[in-house]
Amino acid sequence: MSFATRTNALVRAGRHLEASALVEDAVHRGDPAALLMMANWRLYGANGPRDWKHMHALIDRAIANGHSPALALKANLVANGTGIAEDWHAATALLAKAARRDPAAAAQHKLISTLGDAAADLPPAESLSATPEIRLYRRLLPAAVCNWMVEAATPVIKPSMVVDPVSGRTTANPIRRSGQTHFIGDREDLVIRWINRRIAAISGTDIAHGEPVNVLRYQPGDEYRAHLDALPGGSNQRATTVLIWLKDGFEGGATRFTEIDLDITGKRGDALVFTNVDADGRPDPLTRHAGLPVTKGVKWLCSRWIRAAPFDAWSES
């Protein structure tokens, strides 16, 4: 049984102290797999406190020991600025080093090398509505980038859930039936970061204002009933929404703005941008919209909510 298998078995059994002792002993010996596991614990605050300074020190030790996955992880965190200053050029250099020995890193590096500046060569905006403001950008993302996002999401996608405010139990989302996952921290790789930078460019927003990007999967019968993306309260409003279609080949599933009688179905790579608030920053009822039921095939969608001010996804503030 491998080190990781034994540790994960202890965690699943609730034997966290034993798991931590096993990892700490291996970290002391400089085991690269243990260094990387402890780094992930410090990233998310699992089996101990969140500590990004310690996390980077552990990753750097694993890199010094020749661990290629640690190089790829470091590249992701440097690209998205988790616990360290964001530096795109340094991140791509780290990814290039990882690519020499890591096939997954090599595939990502090959794709990144074809993309160029995320803010360059933006498609023109097509106005679909002035009030509320709704714009369409055709072919914002290349097909290869859309495919990358779907492939990254597929192994970890789960049914959309909410926490019942009365019982505290996790239950099916009453208005959205779909699969969902989001990308944060180590999962926001350079391709996902490039997407987020491109979203910031077309929406005219700061990348720091965005919530973690989501991937949504709607199978036949799945839908998102009419709703507002704007929040009912709070000081940092969801001012803008960006939706990007990641695949073609489905039927039904149009995005319907119910108050203005507008239906939109984009093609792979097309992006829809709309403003959720009025001139005073209050939720705009005209932005009520629904994802109509998919009748055939599978609808894959990327979504990103953008706040009025910087958003800290780790503290949900």
Pick the last residue of a domain from 112, 137, 153. 112
Q: Is residue 120 part of a domain?
A: no
Give residue 19's domain range. Answer: 3-112
299 with 160, same domain?
yes
Q: Is residue 13 part of a domain?
A: yes
Which pLDDT score is estimated for 317?
43
Which pLDDT score is estimated for 25?
87
7 with 67, same domain?
yes
The number of folded domains in the chain is: 2
Q: Is residue 178 part of a domain?
A: yes
Q: Is residue 192 part of a domain?
A: yes
216 with 101, same domain?
no
CATH code at position 57? 1.25.40.10
Residues in the chain predicted with pLDDT less than 50, given as ranges, are 317
151 with 240, same domain?
yes
pTM above 0.75, yes or no: yes
Q: Is residue 313 part of a domain?
A: no
66 with 189, same domain?
no
Q: Give the amino acid at 5.
A: T
254 with 303, same domain?
yes
CATH code at position 219? 2.60.120.620
102 with 145, same domain?
no
C-alpha to C-alpha distance for 287 and 284, rounded to whole angstroms: 6
Which pLDDT score is estimated for 164?
56
Which pLDDT score is estimated for 74?
98
